[in-house]
């Protein structure tokens, strides 16, 4: 069930009404709300495909028994723990690395990558005594299947979500209002920015014409894809955070202005935070983190980002993407003694970081390594394309030269729409760099606030009605 559907709207209105009514039963409020969350999670997940339910049920029961046996000591305890970790990973590894002949016949279970890591966090945290193993399997089921985050995160930790599931949540106007605002901002990012940019990106990256695309079009598509991916995924995260906030839950922040990062290391502290912190806590630190010799630190960084690449996909594109970010991190650490002495303006650091990240995302967007090669070859033709632009401008005028250089189909209106909404998003990102958007909007006069709300809603409706709505990119992972 997609957040961006009337089905979900009906589902959530019914659920939240019952959820808040249940809060009035003082003695049994927690139990009734827990049952409602569980039933809602089952309906939400099964709506995608009833065949997926056994996979999340498997993760739930495996996690429960792993938690119950987490107190085993000695060699036997380590073997049992390792067996549970491997068993938990098996479905994810199977679906990601099944023989290519099988993949066309297999449906990837909704949210498998996300709830597997959530399940692993429970198993590992129970083993390391960060949380106490739940005696009731129902609580484990609530934790792993919590419907706002089960599809695409943010990936939850048991120490954060389980205590919240054990308390009653009464209606709170501020939570509800903030939740709606966060959800609406996520919808703006998805419909008005990501899906609008996707049309151009898909046109340029189409396998049938990729080899013939001019360099300016490829460069613009690379930049557009960076914003498309960010707004698509962070848009979903905002919707999940908004739904949770309306219910009274805090599921954490998943993005924090990553394209305003001043280094690749800073970027990963801001991008897909729930995954990057998961990898830090469960891969990088257990490998030794930064407490070991320098060569080991570099190896740990490479391994951590290779795991990130493998988590995203089974093709060499994702492996190289992960390896590239690992190398970025190593280079950044090695150059730190020099870069700290050079006073470089932040805008230059931001621009360099954005370029490095965007280059890596060529591997993320291209379907094959062959396509990556075509993109690189196309960009290398830039001097030739500049000459063609000058020639076309002299013969047909600036407008036609621009159309040819950037491979613009049809009129310029759609491109102008994309650029305007992207500019609005960039301005909003800069404005909220040091202060949250919620704080800023609350500080404005009532008339200004409602004007902003109406404008945002009208933009969402306008782009939603264009019929350009696409699936969330990370649903493929």
Q: Given this model, what pLDDT does residue 104 score?
A: 63
CA atoms in the 13 A half-sphere facing the CB of 236: 26
- Residue ranges for the chain with pLDDT beneath 50: none
Q: Given this model, what pLDDT does residue 347 score?
A: 93
Q: Given this model, what pLDDT does residue 211 score?
A: 87
Global confidence as pTM: 0.94
Sign of CA dihedral 47, 52, 54, 55: negative
Residue length of the chain: 477
Query: What are 97-121's pLDDT values in tens digits?
Result: 877 666 666 788 999 999 999 999 9
Both tokens assigned to 93: 């590894």
Q: Given this model, what pLDDT does residue 136 score?
A: 95
Q: For tokens 């949210």, what's the residue?
A: 111
What residues act catalytically?
A: 312
Q: Given this model, what pLDDT does residue 220 score?
A: 96
């Amino acid at each position: 069930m997609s957040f961006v559907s009337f089905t979900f709207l009906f589902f959530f209105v019914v659920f939240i009404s019952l959820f808040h009514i249940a809060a009035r039963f003082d003695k049994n409020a927690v139990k009734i709300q827990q049952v409602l969350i569980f039933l809602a999670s089952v309906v939400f997940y099964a709506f995608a495909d009833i065949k997926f339910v056994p996979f999340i049920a498997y993760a739930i029961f495996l996690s429960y028994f792993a938690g119950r046996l987490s107190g085993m000591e000695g060699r036997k305890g380590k073997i049992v723990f390792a067996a549970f970790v491997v068993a938990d990973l098996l479905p994810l590894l199977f679906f990601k690395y099944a023989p290519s002949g099988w993949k066309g016949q297999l449906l990837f279970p909704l949210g498998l990558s996300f709830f597997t890591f959530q399940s692993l966090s429970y198993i590992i945290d129970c083993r390391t005594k960060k949380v106490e193993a739940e005696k009731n399997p129902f609580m484990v089921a609530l934790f792993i299947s919590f419907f706002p985050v089960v599809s695409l995160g943010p990936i939850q930790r048991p120490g954060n979500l389980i205590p919240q599931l054990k308390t009653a949540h009464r209606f709170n106007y501020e939570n509800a209002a903030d939740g709606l605002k966060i959800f609406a901002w996520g919808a703006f990012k998805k419909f008005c920015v990501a899906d609008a940019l996707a049309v151009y990106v898909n046109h340029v990256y189409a396998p049938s014409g990729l080899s013939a695309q001019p360099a300016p079009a490829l460069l613009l598509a690379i930049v557009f894809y960076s914003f498309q991916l960010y707004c698509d995924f962070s848009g979903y995260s905002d919707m999940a955070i908004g739904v949770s906030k309306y219910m009274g839950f805090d599921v954490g922040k998943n993005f924090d202005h990553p394209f305003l990062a001043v280094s690749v290391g800073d970027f990963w502290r801001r991008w897909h935070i729930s995954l990057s912190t998961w990898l830090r806590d469960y891969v990088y630190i257990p490998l030794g983190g930064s407490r070991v010799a320098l060569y080991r630190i570099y190896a740990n960084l490479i391994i951590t980002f290779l795991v990130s690449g493998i988590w995203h996909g089974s093709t060499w594109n994702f492996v190289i993407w992960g390896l590239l970010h690992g190398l970025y991190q190593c280079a950044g650490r090695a150059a730190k003694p020099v870069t700290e002495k050079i006073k470089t303006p932040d805008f230059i650091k931001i621009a360099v970081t954005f370029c490095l990240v965007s280059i890596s995302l060529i591997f993320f967007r291209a379907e094959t390594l062959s396509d990556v090669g075509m993109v690189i070859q196309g960009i290398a033709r830039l001097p030739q394309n500049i000459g063609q632009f000058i020639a076309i401008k002299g013969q047909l005028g600036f407008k036609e030269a621009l159309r040819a250089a950037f491979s613009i189909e049809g009129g310029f209106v759609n491109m102008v729409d994309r650029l305007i909404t992207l500019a609005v998003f960039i301005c909003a990102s800069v404005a909220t760099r040091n202060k949250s958007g919620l704080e800023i909007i609350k500080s404005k006069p009532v008339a200004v606030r409602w004007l902003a709300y109406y404008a945002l809603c009208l933009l969402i409706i306008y782009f939603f009605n264009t019929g350009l709505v696409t699936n969330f990119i990370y649903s493929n992972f």
